[in-house]
Chain A
Amino acid sequence: RKEVEQDPGPFNVPEGATVAFNCTYSNSASQSFFWYRQDCRKEPKLLMSVYSSGNEDGRFTAQLNRASQYISLLIRDSKLSDSATYLCVVSPYGQNFVFGPGTRLSVLP
């Protein structure tokens, strides 16, 4: 089983839609959690950290369920500029970041 798994995608949604991405991780010692976005042939960029209490940044909401080892990202009112690959990242305490394979999102006009 891979350390971090994500929805296989791709997701094709119309502008204005709400889309949710799911991620599961296998290492229960994971302490830090993030969502990154990566545009085609560009470097990953930090989108947001994920906290146990859940957190929101504008149209983006991230949730963490430690008991289920599950992370989610919700994008509301999606824009064309949201088209990218979304990477789920976990980090066990004191260790490197482990990336999921990514889920590609295409927002269509």
Chain B
Amino acid sequence: DAGVTQSPTHLIKTRGQQVTLRCSPISGHKSVSWYQQVLGQGPQFIFQYYEKEERGRGNFPDRFSARQFPNYSSELNVNALLLGDSALYLCASSRDREFGAFFGQGTRLTVV
């Protein structure tokens, strides 16, 4: 089975632009979460979706939004990009919280 897939793998945007990141979970996993990881730090939680409903939101501004589709894939949108949004954006899917989450390879976003 394919693991979690994310696209694109790398992205360069300029300040003020908008970006959409995509994630396909492992087959059978209904929960998708998004994390932001800045160099030298652990991943920080952004959103969790389960069965197309938002189940949790981290301490991120309203410029960040997400959604989950009927096939459980997900998109993360970031508007009005700032230099500080430069980071590795990770998507994770899980079958059940008790068994941990599995991460995609991430999208490395650079804002210039």
Question: Do the two shown chains form a genuine complex with each other?
Answer: yes
Chain A residues near B (Cβ < 8 Å): 4, 31-32, 34, 42-46, 49, 87, 89, 91, 94-102
Tell which of A44, A95, A98, A102 touches B103, judged by Cβ atoms closer than 8 Å: A44
Bound Cα distance A66, B36 (Å): 28
Contacts of B98 in A (CB 8 A): 32, 49
- The range of chain B's interface size is 20 to 34
Contacts of A97 in B (CB 8 A): 33, 45, 92, 101
Contacts of B45 in A (CB 8 A): 96-98
Query: In the bound complex, do residue A95 and residue B43 qualify as a contact, i.e. CB atoms below 8 Å apart?
Result: no
Query: In the bound complex, do residue B105 and residue A42 qualify as a contact, i.e. CB atoms below 8 Å apart?
Result: yes
Least distance between B83 CB and chain A CB atoms (Å): 20
- Kindly identify, within residues 40 to 81 of chain B, every residue whose CB is under 8 Å from any CB belonging to chain A: 40-45, 48, 55-56, 58
